Amino acid sequence: MSDCLRFALTPGEPAGIGPDLCLLLARKRQAHALICVASTALMKERAKELELDIRLIETGPDNWPKQPAPANSLYVWDTPLGTPVETGHLDQANAAYVLQTLTRAGQGCLDGNFAGLITAPVHKGIINEAGIAFSGHTEFLAELTHTEQVVMMLATRGLRVALVTTHLPLKDVADAITTERLQRVTRILHADLRDKFGIAVPRILVCGLNPHAGEGGHLGREEIEVIEPTLQQLREEGLNLIGPLPADTLFTPKHLEHCDAVLAMYHDQGLPVLKYKGFGAAVNVTLGLPIIRTSVDHGTALDLAGTGKIDCGSLQVALETAYEMAQSCNRP
């Protein structure tokens, strides 16, 4: 099929639920060719543990598929483990394996072999315990692709929320919201909504930092001194920005009805609303990369690995989002 694209899927931590998610999704035929970058032996053992009859079809640079795998089948680019996996139990010996799957998948995107990358959760702690400096997927892929600035955006059906700051203590947030940072993040958000989501003129709602967006300076001056002047400068460049608006009333139907994305100043300002709206069906999108990357919004759930008692909703949304983004990028 001529409109079929290839996507890389990394299962993340081999002892967690990532391999399970990949196998459970393989029960249905996907819209595109999905290549699981993983150990064939691991996927075979986990399928047996889950009592799933999934045909594993080995593929790689010499024989990339040209169509989606049939139902109950999964393409696998075999990537050897460091040591056999005991489901639910972390092992430092497989830290390098996890990073190898990411490197293969990310480089494959850069080389044009894949239209995008979808990632299942990794366990940062065990990778660091193995003596490898690793702060997360986002930073790893930024380094791999030589990208200086990336933006974290979570999305669910009907709402996208991007963040100016991410994993910072609350006491450090105000100092981190500088003109330069706000300019960079907003420009990346605008550009990727346009180029990767196919929105010609993105309409972005911007949260204030303080309660009531500072209430004219009575509850903080960041809106007056930093946020509003920066937004005005970006408006003069042609960006469609509304705000700064009070976060407690921004997330209402009146404001969100014609909104393409919300830009929140800090992690817990925007994400609780999004996760409430899309719990179990949200996706993490890394903006600013030269490749498409989406991810689940949950962790490795070691205690659920091998049980089959998991929800594939977030990974399915991550797949669908990556498909939509790639198709938008390919439109004339």
Query: Domain check: are 155 and 139 in the same one?
Result: no
Mean pLDDT on 84-103: 97
CA atoms within 13 A on the CB side of 189: 30
204 located within any domain? yes
234 located within any domain? yes
Query: Domain check: are 66 and 114 in the same one?
Result: yes
What's the confidence (pLDDT) of residue 331?
58
Torsion of CA 43, 47, 52, 53, to 10 degrees: 60
Q: Which two tokens stand for residue 224?
A: 């007056």
Query: Domain check: are 74 and 32 in the same one?
Result: yes
Written as one letter, the residue type at 250 is L
Q: Token match 């045909």: residue?
A: 55
Average pLDDT, the chain: 94
Binding-site residues for a divalent metal cation, in ranges, read 167, 212, 267
Distance CA 208, CA 237 (A): 21
Query: Domain check: are 236 and 159 in the same one?
Result: yes
Mean pLDDT on 78-97: 97
**pTM to 2 decimals?**
0.90
Distance CA 275, CA 297 (A): 9
Residue 330 has pLDDT above 90, yes or no: no
281 located within any domain? no
Query: Domain check: are 141 and 159 in the same one?
Result: no
Distance CA 222, CA 29 (A): 50
Binding-site residues for substrate, in ranges, read 137-138, 275, 284, 293
Query: Domain check: are 205 and 228 in the same one?
Result: yes
Query: Domain check: are 254 and 201 in the same one?
Result: yes
Distance CA 89, CA 10 (A): 19
140 located within any domain? yes
Give the pLDDT band (50/70/90) at residue 157.
Answer: confident
Helix axes 313-330, 18-25, angle to 10 degrees: 70
169 located within any domain? yes
CA atoms within 13 A on the CB side of 43: 31
3-state secondary structure of 212: helix
Query: Domain check: are 26 and 133 in the same one?
Result: yes
Residues 259-272: tens digit of each pLDDT: 999 999 999 999 99
Residues in Cβ contact with 237 at an 8 Å cutoff, skipping those fewer than 6 apart:
none
What's the confidence (pLDDT) of residue 125?
94
Which of 275, 303, 318 is the C-terminal boundary of a domain? 275
Mean pLDDT on 16-40: 96
Residue ranges of E strands in the chain: 6-10, 33-38, 55-58, 73-78, 116-119, 151-156, 159-163, 203-207, 240-245, 261-264, 283-287, 293-296
Q: Give whole-number Cα distances, 236 to 73, 264, 305, in Å.
A: 52, 21, 51
Mean pLDDT on 312-321: 92
Give the pLDDT band (50/70/90) at residue 1.
Answer: very low
Could you tell me what percent of the chain has a pLDDT over 90?
88
We report the CATH number of the domain holding residue 201 as 3.40.718.10
Query: Domain check: are 87 and 186 in the same one?
Result: no
1 located within any domain? no
Q: 191, 211, 210, 216: which is closest to 201 by C-alpha?
A: 191
Query: What range does the domain containing 97 cover?
Result: 6-147+289-330
280 located within any domain? no
Query: Domain check: are 71 and 155 in the same one?
Result: no
Query: Domain check: are 269 and 295 in the same one?
Result: no
Strand partners, 204: 241, 261
Structurally, the chain folds into a number of domains equal to: 2
What's the confidence (pLDDT) of residue 295?
94
Mean pLDDT on 67-81: 97
Binding-site residues, in ranges, read 137-138, 167, 212, 267, 275, 284, 293
Query: Domain check: are 108 and 158 in the same one?
Result: no
